Amino acid sequence: MTITEKILAEHAGRREVAPGELINARVDVVLANDITAPIAIKEFARIGAERVFDPDRVVLIPDHFAPQKDIKAAEQCKMLKEFSKAHHLGHYFEVGRMGIEHALLPEQGLVVPGDLVIGADSHTCTYGALGAFSTGVGSTDVAAAMATGECWFRVPESMRFIYYGTLRRWVGGKDLILHTIGDIGVDGALYRAMEFEGETIRSLPMHGRLTICNMAIEAGGKSGIIVPDAVTEAYVKGRARRGYRLYSSDPDAVYVDTREYDCSRIEPLVACPHLPSNVRPARELTHVSIDQVVIGSCTNGRLQDLRDAAEVIRGRKVHPDVRMIVIPATQQIYREAMKEGLFEVFIDAEAVVSTPTCGPCLGGHMGILAKGERAVATTNRNFVGRMGHPDSEVYLSNPAVAAASAVLGRIGLPEEIGR
């Protein structure tokens, strides 16, 4: 079996499972945010549930419209707070203690290798970087799981992606997944588990792995996953709040498709409007002027992402026609970036630094685009109207390209400003 099939079989109490089977499986973590949790909370009450299956396995995080941007957002967030208090949840993260959910849970050791995690957010697939099966589900499934501790699944087929070769300067996890999505398309892995492996993945730090698995959903994937190794164990050691199990795929496991990529040939990439699959080399887009740069999100708001951006922009100024918004993904990342002096670099460059929030990624707040405006963002989606006006445009890139673009006032590369 593949690693995905092994995790699902274990959680279903079976010796084995096969793609296409419908199963019920116990969940280790149930997650929801301030957009999706209110629906789940209402459904939880409607079915007559009186208590959650385990107060330490239900995680509620207000991150999308928090800090609360208006009255409606405040009411949504209030529902999470009141539900958490009523059910004595051990993992409710209020503003000041929160972070973007898919950065916060790995950081806090709430997801560990071998887990089965569901979340009412499509980017729940992020946790596959830790060797867990994790996937986004609807709010009604979250309501049922909060009550029963179980969820139903159709066992997905698995696709294998093998990466080899040494990465070029300023090329990272974002470029690898953009290259992959550009190759197979936004439905190329529809309801499949995307298993990432190879020498390049094995040498990739955890922040890059989290970025790759985070965007599996942008290829239609049910999940993304990386077989845990020494990098995984080094990351979870000292963080994990529970015991964990390291699964691997069998040598004779069956994959519906296998793709191989020579990563030494991959250069910094940009996904152009209006699909994550509309991928082109950044060097071909230097004629595209921009109005805004956003560095952050559950895709690229981690400490190393901020370090990369700061290294590029240090001693430079944001272009007069551009606004640059930097959003650390969690309070811990915020604190560490501040201690390292990264905020001083950004502020000296005339960028703004925000408290952790999803904010502009979903067109929520803290960086909405007007008609005709263009943004370079380290986020994960660039659909029509994703970050604001339907006639605006979003270009997706890694943090280094985003920072260079902020200086140049157009899409550009770090080399163009001597980096």
Q: What pLDDT is stored for residue 397 in this prediction? A: 98
Mean pLDDT rounded to a whole number for the chain:
97
Q: Average the pLDDT over 229-239 and give the result.
A: 96
* Strands annotated E in 89-191: 91-92, 116-119, 133-136, 150-154, 157-164
Q: Which residues contact 95 (CB under 8 A, 6 or more apart)?
A: 62, 66, 67, 68, 355
Percent of the chain surpassing pLDDT 70 = 100
Q: Are 132 and 116 in contact (CB under 8 A)?
A: yes
Domain edge (last residue) among 261, 292, 319: 261
List, in sequence order, the alpha helices (H) in 266-390. 297-300, 303-313, 331-339, 342-348
Q: Dig out the tokens for 316 from the structure.
A: 């430079």
Confidence band, pLDDT 50/70/90 cuts, at residue 42: very high
Distances (CA, A) of 195 to 33, 69, 260, 352: 27, 38, 12, 37
Q: What pLDDT is stored for residue 150 in this prediction? A: 98
Q: What pLDDT is stored for residue 212 in this prediction? A: 98
Which residues span the domain enclosing 341? 269-417
Percent of the chain surpassing pLDDT 90 = 99
Q: Which residues contact 218 (CB under 8 A, 6 or more apart)?
A: 177, 181, 186, 276, 277, 380, 381
Residue 143 maps to which CATH number? 3.30.499.10
Asked whether the CA dihedral 387, 393, 396, 398 is positive or negative, the reply is negative
0.75 surpassed by pTM: yes
* Strands annotated E in 93-138: 116-119, 133-136
Q: Which residues contact 192 (CB under 8 A, 6 or more apart)?
A: 156, 157, 158, 159, 220, 221, 222, 256
Domain edge (last residue) among 224, 241, 261: 261
* Pairwise CA distance, residues 128 & 141, whole Å: 20
Q: Average the pLDDT over 132-158 and give the result.
A: 98
Q: Dig out the tokens for 6 from the structure.
A: 């092994």
Q: Dig out the tokens for 135 from the structure.
A: 């996937």
Q: What is the number of alpha carbons within 13 Å of residue 134 lying toward its C-beta?
A: 35
Q: Are 321 and 294 in contact (CB under 8 A)?
A: no
**Is residue 42 domain-shared with residue 121, that is, in the same domain?**
yes
User: Which residues are registered as beta bridge partners of 119?
Assistant: 31, 136
**Is residue 340 domain-shared with residue 283, that is, in the same domain?**
yes
Confidence band, pLDDT 50/70/90 cuts, at residue 142: very high
**Is residue 161 domain-shared with residue 177, that is, in the same domain?**
yes
Cα of 118 vs its chain's centroid, Å: 14
Q: What pLDDT is stored for residue 296 in this prediction? A: 97
pLDDT in tens, 182-212: 999 999 999 999 999 999 999 999 999 999 9
Strands 29-33 and 58-61, bridge-based pairing: parallel
Confidence band, pLDDT 50/70/90 cuts, at residue 419: confident
**Is residue 90 domain-shared with residue 21, that is, in the same domain?**
yes
**Is residue 281 domain-shared with residue 171, that is, in the same domain?**
no
Specify the DSSP class assigned to residue 349: T
**Is residue 80 domain-shared with residue 109, that is, in the same domain?**
yes
Q: Average the pLDDT over 387-401 and give the result.
A: 97
Cα of 400 vs its chain's centroid, Å: 18
pLDDT in tens, 119-138: 999 999 999 999 999 999 99
**Is residue 122 domain-shared with residue 197, that is, in the same domain?**
yes
pLDDT in tens, 3-33: 999 999 999 999 999 999 999 999 999 999 9
Question: Residue 53's CB: how many other CB atoms inside 10 A?
Answer: 16
* Pairwise CA distance, residues 131 & 248, whole Å: 8
**Is residue 247 domain-shared with residue 289, that is, in the same domain?**
no
Q: What pLDDT is stored for residue 21 in this prediction? A: 98
Number of domains within the chain: 2
Estimate the share of the chain in helix, then strand, then coil, as percent rounded to the nearest 5. Answer: 35, 20, 45
**Is residue 56 domain-shared with residue 187, that is, in the same domain?**
yes
Q: Are 317 and 404 in contact (CB under 8 A)?
A: no
**Is residue 355 domain-shared with residue 233, that is, in the same domain?**
no
Q: Average the pLDDT over 266-278 and give the result.
A: 97
* Pairwise CA distance, residues 40 & 139, whole Å: 5
**Is residue 276 domain-shared with residue 254, that is, in the same domain?**
no
Domain edge (last residue) among 231, 261, 291: 261
Given the structure tokens 């009255």, which residue do they identify? 71
* Pairwise CA distance, residues 178 & 269, whole Å: 7
Q: Are 142 and 135 in contact (CB under 8 A)?
A: no
**Is residue 115 domain-shared with residue 229, that is, in the same domain?**
yes
